[in-house]
Amino acid sequence: MSTWDTDERTALRASVRRFAEAEIVPNLGAWEAAGALPLELHRKAARAGLLGVGFPESAGGQGGTPIDTWVIAEELIQAGGSSGLVAALFTHGIGLPHLIEAGDPALIEKVAKPVLAGERIVSLAVTEPDGGSDVAGLTTRAVRDGDEYVVTGAKLYITSATRADFFTVAVRTGGDGAGGISLLLLERGMPGLTVSAPLQKMGWLCSDTAELTSDGVRVPVGNLIGTENEGFYAIMGQFAAERLSLAVQAYATAQRCLDLTLAWVRERKTFGRPLSSRQVVQHRVAEMARQTDVARTYTRAVIDDWQAGEDVFRQVAMAKNTAVAACDFVVDNAVQLFGGMGYMRETEVERHYRDSRILGIGGGTNEIMTEIVAKLLLA
């Protein structure tokens, strides 16, 4: 038995699967068409005790470790959810940690508790139109004026932004570079803060994404998250969790597509025989299984080491690229083996094919991950 399938985590998987089958699978198509998840799903997930896992009880969470949150993500995807659904329903997984770590009781009361109760939504806004992965170079400015900061700048590709009540926004409060960055809590309705129409994406259709524009938004200094000019380090501190989270979504998506493909090739007959009787197909699914298994085993091993406090910055980057490559291979071959059916919107592997394309882009691209590995190897 590993840390991933203790009795408690097995029971947690059973609860998550039941929740997914009852609340998510029958509705996911409609949410994809609508372009967003209903707030009611957040409330239901909170009532089922899923939303707060991985966050301390003092902040309105359920306790537990990151592994528990990833057991939930794995099972949601493997029960018929999707990485897009995980991104939209658990946006607080990237939007809240800095705020909770900073520990300001007023902000925890105002933001963390209602978000973990499923009543409010929080987004993380770091990426800028001219930036991408270059966090240290961000240009949104926050200028102190009395008891307020005045914020001006634009943020792009902000997950759940059209629904969010709160935004954890990375701003420049100091000089150039990593040392001048802070995190500020912006709130829907603040004068000068506008959220664009939903951006039209290739995948993650149930997850709304938008641009956030701040034009002289006045933010009380009480909304500063953590210490001024130390925001870069707070963001950096969450990089490992974000990348590992994407790696988990990648291998879980691969596992789901493998499961769907195995069922399909047994059932689908061509020229009078099931697809599974063809050696080409047999070898293909064997390779899909190998890559999925290796990605999961390696990613989980890195997570276990990370939880044990080891320095795994390089391994995290390698895990993300390994899992993303496995997922890319598996979703592509799943669609291929499903044939014409795999190209249809009604077919689940088609959704995973589109959804998974972002996994090698978000949270640091494949190329950035490789760059990190190379730098650390040759340092």
For the annotated catalytic residues, the residue numbers are 242
Q: Residue 12, interface with another protein (CB under 8 A)?
A: yes
**Cα radius of gyration rounded to whole Å, the chain:** 21
User: Any contact of residue 67 with another protein (CB under 8 A)?
Assistant: no
Q: How far is the CB of 276 from another protein (least distance, A)?
A: 22
CB of 45 to another protein, least distance (A): 10
Binding characters for another protein, 234-263, by CB under 8 A (x = yes)? ------------------------------
Q: What angle do CA 350, 291, 273 make, to 5 degrees?
A: 60
With respect to another protein, which residue has the nearer C-beta, 52 or 363? 52
Nearest distance from C-beta of residue 118 to another protein, angstroms: 13
Binding of residue 26 to another protein (CB under 8 A):
no
Site for another protein in 312-351 (CB under 8 A): none
Q: How far is the CB of 68 from another protein (least distance, A)?
A: 6
Among 68, 165, 187, 228, binds another protein (CB under 8 A): 68
CA 135, chain centre distance (Å): 18
Count residues contacting another protein (CB under 8 A)? 17
Q: Which is nearer to another protein, 12 or 184 (CB)?
A: 12
Cβ-based nearer residue to another protein, 38 or 49: 49
Task: Indicate whether 1 belongs to the interface with another protein (CB under 8 A).
Answer: no
Quick check: 15 binds another protein (CB under 8 A)?
A: yes
Nearest approach, Cβ of residue 214 and another protein (Å): 36
In the complex, minimum distance from the CB of residue 226 to another protein, in angstroms, rounded to a whole number:
27
Region of 5-13, 147-155, 295-303, 317-325 interacting with another protein (CB under 8 A): 5-13
The 32-61 site mask, x for binding another protein (CB under 8 A), equals: ----------------xxx-xx--------
- The site for another protein (CB under 8 A) is made up of 7-8, 11-12, 14-15, 18-19, 48-50, 52-53, 62-64, 68
